[in-house]
Structure 1
């Protein structure tokens, strides 16, 4: 079983965002293709038929003024 996407985000409350002069603020992290839970060949990706697969990790802050 392959894990394709994991996302986690946190929105600051409006009270806290307003205290620092923002309308809203969100922190988030995301992992794309972080790995497999179970796979008979760990070095081979059956979906792309290659010996690797791309992993991406993203962190960010979204603000509204």
Structure 2
């Protein structure tokens, strides 16, 4: 599984490393190109997730670490 995640998510490896390959990016730079080959998208509140961003991508799960 290919996971694109905000690099500032705490304990990212502890929780998700066993599920697949993690690509860490600055939250503000996660865009359509970044998710073009991702199965999972993990974001914080700084990343706007829109229909346009996900349309045509293989992303099947979007999770947030916003509290």
TM-score, structure 2 as length reference: 0.20
More strand by share: 1
More helix by share: 2
TM-score, structure 1 as length reference: 0.20
